[in-house]
A and B are shown apart, each in its own frame.
Chain A
Amino acid sequence: MTNKPVIAPSSEGTLSRRGFFMKLGILFNGFAAMVLAVPVVGFLLSSVARGRANGYLSWVPLGRVDQFPEGETRLATFRNPNVMPTDGKTVDTACWVRHVAGEKFQVFAINCAHLGCPVRWFPQSGLFMCPCHGGAYYRDGARASGPPERGLFEYPYKVENGLVTIQAGELPTPGAAIASLTGEKPPCAS
């Protein structure tokens, strides 16, 4: 054993051979980490990246027009367009379909515009009520009372070949794109 330090001191300002190799080693590992970081971050953010430009949305049929009597609001269910094998029943989603008249509909998300709990339609009092924090909405989805700051979320819909079809695929949330996309605008019946 000698008393010589294994790593040469760099206090003299000169770079020793071992010091150089250690720095090179750190640099090399930094490079390897960066190479690895690209797929890791890409994997982690894949669900976000795919959601860009409404990549999750597609048109889903709800049922024939005559399944929804005029002037009434009925519960409909649909299967989310993106299904993974382990999703179980979670991909089946409910929504409220209000047949206003003729080909005019309103399709409301089941999720309360406050914090997403399932709202229930009460035809007798003409209100949607939320069981969680007490939000209430009128028959046209407008906010009636309680903590929600806005009306119910509406899916864009169209009537094609006698089928009511909605554009769905994302959980509607107060800040999400689908909400701002369709919340205030009239449905894009094409």
Chain B
Amino acid sequence: MRIMIGKIEFAKIGDWFDRRLQLAAPIREAAEHPVPRNTASWFYVFGSAALTVFLIQLVTGILLALIYVPSAGEAWSSLQALNHQVALGWFIRAMHGWGSNFMVAIVLIHMAQVFLFGAHKFPRELTWIIGVFLLLMTLGMAFSGQVLRFDQDAYWGLGIGASIASRVPIIGPAAVKLMLGGPIIAGATLSRFFALHVFVIPGMLIAFVALHVLMVLKLGINEWPMPGRIVKRATYEAQYHALTREDGAPFVPYAVWKDMFFAAFIILAVAACAFYFGPFGPTGQPDPTIIQTAPKPDYFFLWLYALLSLLPPSLETPFLLIGPVLAIIGLILLPFLSGEGEKSWKRRPIAVITVLMIAITLGTFTRMAQFTPWSPHMNAWSGDPVPDRYIHGSTALERQGALVFQVKQCRNCHSIGNTGGQRGPALDSVAVRLTQDQLIRQVIQGGGNMPAYGNNLSPAETTALVAFLETLHPAKQSPARDGARDLVLSESKPNSASQP
């Protein structure tokens, strides 16, 4: 009886509001609009998943703002307080950090799925273009969020951003000062990235997400692509409406339950990662006088970090400045260049190969950036001793050379016995590759990617070092020899232990 009264009362209150708001009818219409039956698929859940993660970010972001202080002098310690002093502050930080990783990943997956299902084609070109801007904003949020975690990585990451911006012709220096809010990375820099991360980009994101979803409602969800069903501007809309009429079902509840399941799954996945792995950083204090640091970007920009290490120097600036512009123009033009035709990935091999190529490239670069083979190991020379077996039974000169090898920090870039830097080649069998003369030349003059050590080694040190390097060859393989040299000097080389 009491429940009945409650229901009636609720209905009355509902009516009272709806008489004034008049939202019930349009909401019901949107919820129950017919969608093609075969779109109720697990492939179609990534858009709503991206929205779900965005909502997680909104909520956790507001919670973090309750404690966080956007001041270059205080930000780092306010993050420490969140991690260690505020109850569950660590968890909210971890949710926000993992949420950002998930958001970038899900937006990319959503984009790939939409592209492979031909959903960017007529009449959904604008939905795609707004989606491209949503991707850019997501990346903008990721970068600015990394700056707000105002630690060493954030500080030097800003330096990298400024160095890239400075390379823009003519306006470069001005762009740097605009980006930093002054001549150096300091308080004003953090404040403006706070404004971007908390007001500007989220505001634009909310507006663009609303437009994006509105267009999905107005134009209808992309039907499941059938090989051979060709999109034509003249006939597509009539065909689509016929499809939803004949083989359609109301979005709620026919298709929405999969979105709801996946949304809950994503929320739990973010929470599980947050709980298990904890928050990201902050790493060391943002004190530029602490230079013993190897800054690294967050996960989603690792591929760029790798690319910046591996591109030839002369290609770097054009690539950095022109590459992104071309990529964005390409993505925006895509629905106009292929607005009609086949939607099914089964009939679009180039589309499939393109997605695979991009995924493999990004994946490879990301993987490489996790162990940075291009960076010298700054402490290999003092940390990793020359393995015993390399100096076992060696002459005094060769041992002296091993010492030079260690002291002159060759290990920072060259590994022997599988420890040391990977910047240069491993030297375990260098004597097989280079003759004595070539070794001397390489050490003194450098070349390839190696600095010249001529100014930094005495002749005696060079002689000893090369004598040691000449012992570095597999036991059953003789070192490289210059035959002509032997002939000219008509004597065998001094180091001919493995020669008969």
Is residue B426 contacting chain A, with contact meaning CB distance below 8 A? no
Q: Known: A124-B409, A134-B374, A144-B446. Contact between A118 and B186, CB under 8 A?
A: no
Contacts of A90 in B (CB 8 A): 72, 155, 184-187, 189, 286-288
Q: Which residue of A lies closest to B152 (CB)?
A: A118
Q: How far in angstroms is the closest Cβ of chain A from B16?
A: 27
Is residue B239 contacting chain A, with contact meaning CB distance below 8 A? no
Q: How far in angstroms is the closest Cβ of chain A from B192?
A: 9
Q: Which residue of A lies closest to B307 (CB)?
A: A133
Asked if A91 and B173 sit within 8 Å, CB to CB, the answer is no
Contacts of A159 in B (CB 8 A): none
Asked if A80 and B184 sit within 8 Å, CB to CB, the answer is yes
The one of B71, B293, B309 in contact with A86, judged by C-beta atoms closer than 8 angstroms, is B71
Complex Cα distance, B159 from A93, in Å, reads 13
Q: Known: A84-B187, A93-B184, A124-B408. Contact between A48 and B174, CB under 8 A?
A: yes
Q: Pick the most buried of B285, B287, B381: most chain A CB atoms within 10 A of its CB.
A: B287
Is residue A165 contacting chain B, with contact meaning CB distance below 8 A? no
Contacts of A86 in B (CB 8 A): 71-74, 187-188, 191
Asked if B451 and A117 sit within 8 Å, CB to CB, the answer is no
Contacts of A127 in B (CB 8 A): 409, 451, 456
Asked if A117 and B295 sit within 8 Å, CB to CB, the answer is yes
Q: Which residue of B lies closest to A91 (CB)?
A: B186
Interface string of B296-319 (1 = CB under 8 A from A): 000000000100110101101100
Complex Cα distance, B313 from A149, in Å, reads 6
The one of A124, A132, A175 in contact with B375, judged by C-beta atoms closer than 8 angstroms, is A132
Q: Which residue of A lies closest to B69 (CB)?
A: A86
The one of A44, A136, A171 in contact with B180, judged by C-beta atoms closer than 8 angstroms, is A171
Contacts of B71 in A (CB 8 A): 86, 88
Contacts of B163 in A (CB 8 A): 111, 114-116, 173-174
Asked if B184 and A170 sit within 8 Å, CB to CB, the answer is yes
Q: Known: A173-B166, A175-B167. Contact between A89 and B286, CB under 8 A?
A: yes
Asked if B316 and A145 sit within 8 Å, CB to CB, the answer is no
Complex Cα distance, B117 from A127, in Å, reads 54
Is residue B252 contacting chain A, with contact meaning CB distance below 8 A? no
Complex Cα distance, B287 from A146, in Å, reads 26
Asked if B451 and A174 sit within 8 Å, CB to CB, the answer is no
The one of A51, A119, A138, A148 in contact with B313, judged by C-beta atoms closer than 8 angstroms, is A148
Q: From residue 81 to 121 of chain A, which have CB atoms closer than 8 A to chain B?
A: 82, 84-94, 110-111, 114-120
Contacts of B293 in A (CB 8 A): 118, 131
Contacts of A80 in B (CB 8 A): 183-184, 186
The one of B183, B288, B305, B410 in contact with A82, judged by C-beta atoms closer than 8 angstroms, is B183
Complex Cα distance, B243 from A145, in Å, reads 63
> B residues bordering A, Cβ < 8 Å?
71-74, 76, 155-156, 159-160, 162-168, 172-174, 176-178, 180-189, 191, 285-289, 291-295, 305, 308-309, 311, 313-314, 316-317, 374-376, 378, 381, 407-410, 412, 423, 446, 449-453, 455-456
Please, could you name 9 A-B residue pairs with CB atoms under 8 Å apart, sorted by A?
Answer: A85-B187, A92-B289, A114-B308, A116-B162, A131-B293, A132-B294, A132-B295, A144-B451, A179-B166
